[in-house]
Amino acid sequence: MGQLLAVQDLAKRYGATVALGGVTMGIRAGEVHAILGENGAGKSTLVKILSGVVQPNDGTMLLDGAPHTPASIFAARGAGVSTAFQELSLIPHLSVAENLLLPKVSRGRFWPERRASIMQRAAAILAEWEITDIAPDAMIEDLPLAQRQRIEITRALSHATRLLVLDEPTAALPDTSWLFRQIRRLTERGVAVMYISHRLSEVREICQRATILRNGASIETVDLAGVDDAGIFAMMVGHAPAAPRSETETATGDILLETRDLHVGAIKGLNLTLRAGEIVGVAALEGQGQQDLFQALGGVRKRASGDIIVGGRSAPLGTPGKAQRTAPGIAFVPEERKADGIFDNLTAATNIVMADFASRSTGAFVNARLERNRAAKSAERVALSPRYLGFEVGNLSGGNQQKVLLARALMTGAKILILFDPARGVDVGTKQSIYAMMDDFVANGGTILFYSSELTELVQLSTRCVVLYNGQVSAEVSRADMTEERLLAAAHGPARTPPTPLREAS
Amino acid sequence: MSDQTAIPLEDTRKAQRISPTVVTVATIYGIVALMIVASRLVSPSFGGLSQLETILYLSSFLVFCAFGQGLVILVRGLDLSIASVITVGGVLSAALMDGSNAGLFYVIPAILLACALIGVVNGIGVTVFNVPPFIMTMAVGIIVYSLCLGFTGGTPRGFPAPVLNDFMGSRFIGIPAPVWLLIAFAAMGTLVQSFSPFGRKLTAVGNNPEAAYVAGLPSRRLTVSVYAISAACAGFTGILLASYANGATLRMGDDYLLPSIAAVVVGGSSILGGKGTFLGTVGGAMLLTTLATILSALGIGQGWKTIMEGAVILLALILLRDTVFDSLRAVLVRKD
Amino acid sequence: MTDATHPSVAETRAARRVTLRHIADSAFLIIVIYLVMAVVYVAVQPSALSAYSIESLFNNSLPLMLAAAGATFVILQGGFDLSVAGTISLVNVVIATTPMEGPGGALALLALAVALGMAVGAINGIIVAYLRIQAIAATLATMIICQGIALLILKAPGGMVSDFMVYELTASLTDRVPYALVIAALGVVFWTIYSRTDAGRNLLAVGQDRKAAALSGINVQRTEFFSFVWAGAFYALAAYMLAAQTSTGNPSAGEPFLLLTFAAVALGGTAFGGGRGGVTASLFGAATLMLMQKVLFAMGVSSFYTGVIQGMIMITAVLFSAAVHHAASNRRGA
Amino acid sequence: MKVTNKLKTLALAALAGTTMLSAGAADAKTADGKWLIYLSLSYSGNAWQSEAANIVKALAKTPPYNETVELVEVISGTDPQAQISDYESMIANGADGIVSFPISSNALNRVVRRGCQEDVLFFMYDGTVTEQCAYNISFLSGGFGENTAQALVNELGGKGKIFLSRGVPGNSVDERHTDGAMHIFNQYPGIEIVSEYYSYWDDRTTQQETAKALAAHPDVDGVWAQAGEYGVIQALLQADENRLVPVTGENSAGFRLALANPDMQAKGLAGVSSGSAPAQSGFAFKIMMEILNGEREPLPEGERNIEYPLPWVPADAVKMCEGDTFEDGCNVFGEDKVPSSFVSEVFNPELLPELSLTSALDGNPTEGATIQPLPEGAVKRAPDMPGINCRSCEAPDNQYDLTKIEATVQP
């Protein structure tokens, strides 16, 4: 089969910043082609160029032999290229139908189409792509994340006549079977799919070939059957991944945090104990109340009833600030790094030192050097290179942003860390640094509660693991019996057998 | 561990040798300097130190109230009540001092406190009740003005303390006292906005309110205090204006509302919050005042003067655009 | 998917949310507020129902209503337009200095006015959408420039407005329904249609989430641009009706509109920051503001303190509409 | 208490309004037998406006009007639409008369016309409307601009650099003043206008704008100013505390006291105080009441522009008042009694003998005073001023003739 998409020496610069520095690759018709690379490797920029969001500075793209130079998303769609974006591109206050049909919802240009007729057309699209549980007139903002992601994908599917670009399509999807079924239907028609995911297992399941990007350049295109994971990692990072971590001993320290019959949001009567020296993992499918639990412990959300006992005393934790100041201190790292975490206009050092500003009265004046000095120690604990401290955080890669957030949490001096998916979407190197920091933290008398969407991570890190189902603890798994299969089974509820494996690890 | 290999390319490439803030501030003062030099073409007595002195003197009022406005804008707000609060400051100082120096030391704090309380109302409306700042401060401005009207019955009475009036006309080391005040205020304001934990916290709140909350910053309290500071600054401006003109009028604040916003924005702050320096605002205020002195000396009709005023503001905005900086920086970086 | 343990409860909650949301999103609330105020007004002022009173009330309210309608386009996409004051002044003096008699002349003037308003709007749009300058600052500058041009055209209030505009446009259809009301109703009809076209939907989408809108294929810059153009057209209409009503041109005619326009939009419940609200709501917001003047007069509120009441009403109305909206989208927190 | 009273009055007024509508009677009084008079202000917020309002309020409380007049004050802000709305409400409430400072000379015409049809008397003071059924009582036709300009030219000996400190851009009053002044200045080639700025009739703005102009022209020889003139003096002193120049301006107490101050004169201050008098409101009110009471014949339409005499106080004529009225030809109050922004022309011993300082400051009647009839010949018709007090009319050829002063230097 010939090349459907041929990309040659593609480059993109933002001012003095090089985001993409020479990508050459090809995708065949009917192929599912993976793009692999660490955060900041240039995947998003490649997606943006292909879908017409930004225009490249150099290089050529040929689609079916004709130059592909979309000036807008709309133009790209016209050429048969459509994209499901990682950061969902749905308008919250519009209906599913309108979102599916944007930007040309109404057929007439000056005279609006009847609502019923719009709904009918949308329903047809939903039916075509086997979505039966979402009504076309539902508001996007009322839908859970997983359904929104499916709408995002469906919209892309409905426009893809030549190339479908999927950027982390399974980030919020509990089940890949629907997606893979649609992808196969599409490829049977000869449509090519560019598939971007951090999850190597998925990639291996659905993709035939992969192009590896590093530092904005394409390293190699490989046949996935012919290369093992270690080989792929090596190409992605430029060196072999770190060795697996050693075992941690079971902790028997003091109880630092305890919840009694906690009700908050979807959480219904939760009892939990965190002891000094242990890392407690939380496993759950999407939407089991894990966000509510973490936000409540972080002080972001007020609990409905029940008790949270911190350091032996019942604590109201009205705000994150109060949570930090309630001895022995709770520091919370939220799920949405960009939205709830970083201050992108401020330097990394200021971002880290902000913890100090928030919790205690500091000197009257500060300047950049003072802040760098103060942040240096926390930065070192998360292996954040000191030379980044002076940069605006918005200019750093996702992994380094995450390190900044963790450094800030450490800076609070809190003994209890509440981390929601701390290693999500970061590269392998950063992951290792984060893991090391967590081990180090509990070894020094702290305790960590963390949620992860990746079972491997839970198994690798947790001293013990709590599985949430429907707002309650469905199982508690000790270090000794911890396997991914065990966690997965518990995550599907107490009395059920697991359906198809949802998410497995490499 | 070997961090070096894992560093994505963009980190190092985005290294910025020249801070955008410095470029912004330098550009504004550059424009001001250029205008002052060019103004010699308009009048032979222009272009000298005495013109600079006049500009500094006249921009001082704008600078005082623009500091508060700048802080409010920094936390994504807007303070439309400052016109009325300036009036409150002026009216109260004329009424309470009533032409006597006695009691100056408690009257001034009392006025500033009263004004700050108006700001607290603004702040509470914005933070606790989530009223959009535009509406909240506009409504409070209308209410406060109306109270002023009722309180004075339409005619503000009395005089500010003579010592204040003398102060506005006095000189130290050959430079007018208000210019010294301006310099001290600019230094203090810069320290507060750019070199204090308080300023950092405000920038954080403006940059990302959700993140600020999660990071444990007392966002509400900070925001309320910012509105209080803004109102206090406006009150301070009112006291000085009344001292300058030796009396208060009810519309004395009107001339400062839109210029205070313009000074902040021309000064390189983002109206969307989270970005801005007080030095830039001072430069913005000076730019507006310089423009006004030049226009005043030009022998053209009011229509043309007004058009030129708008055009210069627009031009300054275009020159201060981020993309202009980016290309400038790109050129500079490429050179070495 | 979570299992819905109590589907019936969930369904009713969803249903309630839907109705509340309809109330919150539509102009329903402000219409209720307007009607309540109208009832109060009629109660304290029985002559309010006379044909003349109705006619003059609407004639008087229409310019602000149209200006607020215009500003709504920009605010809905998340922008800000201070140029309303300058545009109205400019168009107003152009009308007053371009004498054209009769219905044909009035029509020609209308075309001229709207074209001029749209031109100013287009300049705003280019500066804000394409040159990416902060809207509030850019439109402040264009406002000042427009005021300057207005002063060049007419140094002091004066000029002539044709008798047709002055007398016919401000009269009533079959002596019962003021033309002003007809024009306002046309505004409502226009918005009802426009908001359902792609352009209207895109406007709201951009206001809700710029980035998502761009990724959905909406041309965000063009949407922004046209919001300013529409705004300019409506400001021009406001200036046109103002000229008809005051039968004169005034180079500072637009100044009183600056803050009142935003107050009217806010009163209507359109969210500053974009994405929620509509032109209909703003039309009623402006009408309410003008009616408030009448009610306060009728109630005999001491004129020094009228502002206190006005300010309170503004804050209360915004709080009220926010409260209803909050109840409507009672979603899970942060 | 005040509010309840008003509410009561308004309820009665509303009642009266409805009965009037049904009866259509011309001789309408409120239910308690009083004339319902509205005082409509555009902008309350400066000394001038509130003094003018206070004068009317004081007169309405002076016997016998305290028994026969129900006065309601309404402030409409700066928006013509608001004043239109308020006029409508007043007409609907059955007003007998409206004394008003009009915000716009043209925009109010329609509602005024409509009020006239309902037999409401409109008396505009200071500002004017071009609708011919309204009475305009104004000093505008008195030639403030040309007379003060000539005074300045005389002081300067026919040559020198001057500033024009104007009022509000785009305002017809400002245009009339400036046109008159330019008529004179243009005759003198030696007079060079080096700066012209708008001061919004406000002391503080005048001070700042003058300071800006002084930055470019510290060697100015004289200033022609409209209201806000005291700010000119302050700005001049600020620039150089030992140098003043001739200044002509309006009637603020600060300016008049400065004119009469020998220290200031020694520094170079000279000039004349003239311009708009708040007392115009009282004059308007009294004419209206006399017409309502049948003591005076209504004037035919087209002849309702009435001139208020232009105040004219040169430096040597400034005389401090010892008491609380303008007795013995005194014409300014000291700093101990009034703020510097106080507009001195509040009293007119001939036309308004009923008034005293408390009337102007607080709106209280003078103790023991009763309303005196206007003297014979007090009401003089003002010449036409197109766009100011009439629409399609011609200005007389002699509109810029000097009335208060003669040219002492020839061009």
pLDDT digits (tens, 9 = 90+) for A294-349: 999 999 888 888 899 998 888 888 888 888 888 889 999 988 777 888 898 888 99
How confident is the model at residue D40, as a pLDDT?
A: 92
Structural domain spans, chain C:
26-328
Check whether C16 has a pLDDT greater than 70: no
How confident is the model at residue A494, as a pLDDT?
A: 61
Check whether C190 has a pLDDT greater than 80: yes
Percentage of chain D lying above the pLDDT 70 cut? 92
Same domain, A330 and A381: yes
How confident is the model at residue A486, as a pLDDT?
A: 82
Q: Determine, for residues C297 and D3 on separate chains, whether the beta-carbon distance falls below 8 Å.
A: no
- Rounded CA-CA distance B29/B290 in Å is 11
Check whether A222 has a pLDDT greater than 60: yes
How confident is the model at residue B147, as a pLDDT?
A: 92
Would residue D337 count as lying in a domain? no
Among A91, A115, A287, beta carbon nearest to C216: A91
Which residue of D lies nearest to C166 if distances are taken between CA atoms? D110
Q: Determine, for residues A470 and C2 on separate chains, whether the beta-carbon distance falls below 8 Å.
A: yes
Q: How much is the mean pLDDT over chain B?
A: 86
What is the value of pTM for the model shown?
Answer: 0.87
Check whether D10 has a pLDDT greater than 70: no
Which residues of chain D make contact with B157, given a CB cutoff of 8 A?
A: 339
Which residues of chain A make contact with C190, given a CB cutoff of 8 A?
A: none
Residue that finishes a domain, picked among D319, D339, D362: D362
Cα separations (Å) of A232 from A45, A165, A218, A343? 21, 21, 13, 34
Would residue D406 count as lying in a domain? no
Report the CATH number at residue A347: 3.40.50.300
Would residue D354 count as lying in a domain? yes
Among B169, B241, B302, beta carbon nearest to D204: B241
Asked, as a colleague might, if the bond just before B218 is cis with ω within 30 of 0, I would say no
Check whether C88 has a pLDDT greater than 90: yes
Same domain, D96 and D171: no
Among B154, B168, B296, beta carbon nearest to D49: B154
Range from A174-178, A255-259, B40-44 carrying the lowest mean pLDDT = B40-44
The residue that leads in pLDDT, A244 or A369, is A369
Range from A93-102, A484-493, B54-63, D308-317 carrying the lowest mean pLDDT = A484-493
Q: Determine, for residues A334 and B214 on separate chains, whether the beta-carbon distance falls below 8 Å.
A: yes
Chains in contact with D via at least 3 Cβ–Cβ pairs below 8 Å: B, C
Nearest to B78 by CA among B121, B124, B138: B138
DSSP 8-state secondary structure symbol assigned to residue A254? -
- Rounded CA-CA distance A405/A337 in Å is 8
Per-residue pLDDT tens over the stretch A429-480: 888 889 999 999 999 989 999 998 777 788 888 989 999 988 888 888 888 8
Q: Determine, for residues B138 and C314 on separate chains, whether the beta-carbon distance falls below 8 Å.
A: yes
CATH class of residue range B46-317: mainly alpha
Would residue A284 count as lying in a domain? yes
Check whether C12 has a pLDDT greater than 70: no
Same domain, D163 and D96: no
Q: How far is B41 from chain D (nearest CA, A)?
A: 11
Bridge partners, residue A20, by sequence: A12
Helical axes C257-268 vs C279-299, angle rounded to 10° = 110
Nearest to C63 by CA among C184, C174, C146, C177: C184
Query: For residues D254 and D233, is the Cβ–Cβ distance under 8 A?
Result: yes
Q: Determine, for residues B42 and D204 on separate chains, whether the beta-carbon distance falls below 8 Å.
A: no
Per-residue pLDDT tens over the stretch D311-367: 999 998 999 998 888 888 889 998 888 888 889 999 888 899 999 998 998 889 998
Q: Is B29 exposed, middle or buried (0-12, 13-18, 19+ CB in 10 A)?
A: middle
Range from A86-90, A445-449, C196-200, D114-118 carrying the lowest mean pLDDT = A86-90
Question: How wide is the angle at C-alpha B21 spanned by C-alphas B295 and B324, nearest 5°?
Answer: 70
DSSP states along B39-83: GGGT-TT-SSHHHHHHHHHHHHHHHHHHHHHHHHHHTT---TTHH
Q: How far is B40 from chain D (nearest CA, A)?
A: 9
Would residue D336 count as lying in a domain? no
Neighbours of A254 (CB within 10 A): 14
The residue that leads in pLDDT, A436 or C47, is A436
Q: Determine, for residues C204 and A93 on separate chains, whether the beta-carbon distance falls below 8 Å.
A: yes
Per-residue pLDDT tens over the stretch A20-52: 888 999 999 999 999 988 766 788 889 999 999
From edge to edge, which strands make up the β-sheet containing D160-166? D191-198, D160-166, D222-225, D247-248
How confident is the model at residue B332, as a pLDDT?
A: 55
Confidence of residue A56 (pLDDT cuts 50, 70, 90): very high
Same domain, D88 and D167: no
Same domain, D90 and D17: yes
Query: For residues A328 and A254, is the Cβ–Cβ distance under 8 A?
Result: no
Check whether A505 has a pLDDT greater than 50: no
Confidence of residue D43 (pLDDT cuts 50, 70, 90): low
How confident is the model at residue A239, as a pLDDT?
A: 58
Per-residue pLDDT tens over the stretch D195-206: 999 988 888 889
- The two three-digit tokens of residue B140, written as one number: 């409070």
Confidence of residue B40 (pLDDT cuts 50, 70, 90): confident
Q: For strand A279-283 and strand A464-469, is the pairing parallel, antiparallel, or unpaired? A: parallel
Confidence of residue A5 (pLDDT cuts 50, 70, 90): very high
Which residue of C lies nearest to B270 if distances are taken between CA atoms? C134
Same domain, D91 and D170: no
Confidence of residue A243 (pLDDT cuts 50, 70, 90): very low
Percentage of chain A lying above the pLDDT 70 cut? 91
Same domain, D122 and D181: no
Range of the domain at A121: 3-237
Nearest to D32 by CA among D18, D47, D16: D16
Confidence of residue D150 (pLDDT cuts 50, 70, 90): very high
Chains in contact with A via at least 3 Cβ–Cβ pairs below 8 Å: B, C
Bridge partners, residue A279, by sequence: A448
Would residue D371 count as lying in a domain? no
- Rounded CA-CA distance C258/C82 in Å is 7
Which residue of A lies nearest to C206 if distances are taken between CA atoms? A91
Per-residue pLDDT tens over the stretch C282-317: 999 999 989 988 888 888 776 778 888 888 988 888
Which residue of D lies nearest to B52 if distances are taken between CA atoms? D215
Same domain, A70 and A202: yes
Q: Determine, for residues C311 and B143 on separate chains, whether the beta-carbon distance falls below 8 Å.
A: yes
Q: How much is the mean pLDDT over chain D?
A: 87
Give, rounded to a whole angstrom, the gap between the first and last alpha carbons of chain C: 21
Query: For residues C162 and C103, is the Cβ–Cβ distance under 8 A?
Result: no
- Tell me whether C2 touches chain A (CB under 8 Å): yes
Report the CATH number at residue D264: 3.40.50.2300
Q: Determine, for residues B310 and C148 on separate chains, whether the beta-carbon distance falls below 8 Å.
A: yes
DSSP 8-state secondary structure symbol assigned to residue D304? -
Per-residue pLDDT tens over the stretch C133-186: 989 889 999 999 999 999 999 988 888 888 888 888 888 877 788 999 999 999
Question: How wide is the angle at C-alpha A394 spanned by C-alphas A391 and A398, nearest 5°?
Answer: 105
Q: How much is the mean pLDDT over chain A?
A: 85
- Tell me whether D303 touches chain B (CB under 8 Å): no
Q: How far is B272 from chain C (nearest CA, A)?
A: 9
Which residue of A lies nearest to B18 if distances are taken between CA atoms? A391
Query: For residues A340 and A384, is the Cβ–Cβ distance under 8 A?
Result: no
Same domain, A226 and A272: no
Residue that finishes a domain, picked among A184, A209, A237: A237
Q: Determine, for residues C141 and B140 on separate chains, whether the beta-carbon distance falls below 8 Å.
A: no
Mean pLDDT for the stretch of residues D68-74: 91
Backbone angles phi, psi at A192, to 5 degrees: -90, 150
Confidence of residue C4 (pLDDT cuts 50, 70, 90): very low
C26-328: what fold? Answer: ABC transporter involved in vitamin B12 uptake, BtuC (1.10.3470)
Per-residue pLDDT tens over the stretch D107-141: 898 899 999 999 999 999 998 999 999 999 999 98
Would residue A499 count as lying in a domain? no
Would residue A172 count as lying in a domain? yes
Q: Write the CB contacts of A59 (distance below 8 Å, at least 6 apart in sequence).
A: A7, A8, A9, A10, A11, A22, A23
Among C137, C148, C315, beta carbon nearest to B307: C148
Structural domain spans, chain B:
46-317
Would residue A343 count as lying in a domain? yes
Mean pLDDT for the stretch of residues A235-249: 57
Which residues of chain C make contact with A110, given a CB cutoff of 8 A?
A: 197
Among B191, B196, B208, beta carbon nearest to A342: B208
Per-residue pLDDT tens over the stretch C251-275: 989 998 998 899 899 888 888 888 8
Q: Determine, for residues D195 and B169 on separate chains, whether the beta-carbon distance falls below 8 Å.
A: no
- Rounded CA-CA distance D305/D301 in Å is 9
Q: For strand A267-275 and strand A255-264, is the pairing parallel, antiparallel, or unpaired? A: antiparallel
Same domain, A215 and A268: no
Task: Give the C-side interface with D, CB within 8 Å.
Answer: 44-48, 50, 52-53, 56-57, 60, 63-64, 150-151, 154-158, 166, 170, 245-248, 250-252, 255-256, 260, 290, 293-294, 297-304, 306
Containing H/E element for A458?
Answer: helix A455-461
Check whether A212 has a pLDDT greater than 60: yes
Query: For residues D235 and D211, is the Cβ–Cβ distance under 8 A?
Result: yes
Q: How far is B158 from chain D (nearest CA, A)?
A: 6
Check whether B335 has a pLDDT greater than 70: no
Chains in contact with B via at least 3 Cβ–Cβ pairs below 8 Å: A, C, D
Query: For residues C147 and C251, is the Cβ–Cβ distance under 8 A?
Result: yes
Q: Determine, for residues D50 and B155 on separate chains, whether the beta-carbon distance falls below 8 Å.
A: yes
- The two three-digit tokens of residue C51, written as one number: 């044909």
Q: Determine, for residues B191 and A365 on separate chains, whether the beta-carbon distance falls below 8 Å.
A: yes
Among B80, B130, B262, beta carbon nearest to C137: B262
Would residue A501 count as lying in a domain? no
Q: Determine, for residues A396 and B11 on separate chains, whether the beta-carbon distance falls below 8 Å.
A: yes
Same domain, D229 and D284: no
- Tell me whether C218 touches chain A (CB under 8 Å): yes
Same domain, A213 and A262: no
Confidence of residue D46 (pLDDT cuts 50, 70, 90): confident
Which residue of B lies nearest to D196 if distances are taken between CA atoms? B296
Q: How many residues does chain C have?
A: 334
Same domain, A325 and A406: yes
Same domain, A319 and A452: yes
Check whether B177 has a pLDDT greater than 90: yes
Q: Determine, for residues B244 and D204 on separate chains, whether the beta-carbon distance falls below 8 Å.
A: yes
- The two three-digit tokens of residue D15, written as one number: 């009642």
Residue C257 CA to its chain's centroid (Å):
11
- The two three-digit tokens of residue D227, written as one number: 């209201």
The residue that leads in pLDDT, D362 or D291, is D291
Which residue of B lies nearest to C143 if distances are taken between CA atoms? B310
Write down the number of H helices and E strands in chain A: 16, 20
Q: Determine, for residues C308 and B143 on separate chains, whether the beta-carbon distance falls below 8 Å.
A: yes
Q: Do chains D and A touch (3 or more CB pairs under 8 A)?
A: no
Same domain, A289 and A202: no
Would residue D168 count as lying in a domain? yes
Query: For residues B66 and B284, is the Cβ–Cβ distance under 8 A?
Result: yes
Among C131, C135, C306, beta carbon nearest to B318: C131
Check whether C5 has a pLDDT greater than 80: no
**Number of structural domains chain D divides into:** 2
Would residue D324 count as lying in a domain? no
Q: Determine, for residues A343 and B274 on separate chains, whether the beta-carbon distance falls below 8 Å.
A: yes
Which residue of B lies nearest to D237 if distances are taken between CA atoms? B169
Residue that finishes a domain, picked among A179, A207, A237: A237
Q: Determine, for residues C141 and B134 on separate chains, whether the beta-carbon distance falls below 8 Å.
A: no
- The two three-digit tokens of residue D295, written as one number: 């003591």
**Number of structural domains chain A divides into:** 2
Mean pLDDT for the stretch of residues B149-158: 80
Same domain, A228 and A263: no
Could you write out the three-class secondary structure of D56-98?
HHHHHHCCCHHHHEEEEEEECCCCHHHHHHHHHHHHHCCCCEE
Which residues of chain C make contact with B130, given a CB cutoff of 8 A?
A: 322
Q: Could you give the dihedral angle defined by the CA atoms of residues D241, D244, D249 and D251, in that order, rounded to the nearest 10 degrees?
A: 50
Check whether D23 has a pLDDT greater than 60: no
Could you write out the three-class secondary structure of A127-187?
HHCCCCCCCCCCEHHHCCHHHHHHHHHHHHHHHCCCEEEEECCCCCCCCCHHHHHHHHHHH
Same domain, D94 and D153: no
Would residue A246 count as lying in a domain? no
- Rounded CA-CA distance A463/C204 in Å is 49
Q: Determine, for residues C212 and A88 on separate chains, whether the beta-carbon distance falls below 8 Å.
A: yes
Neighbours of C211 (CB within 10 A): 13
Range of the domain at D300: 2-139+278-309+347-362
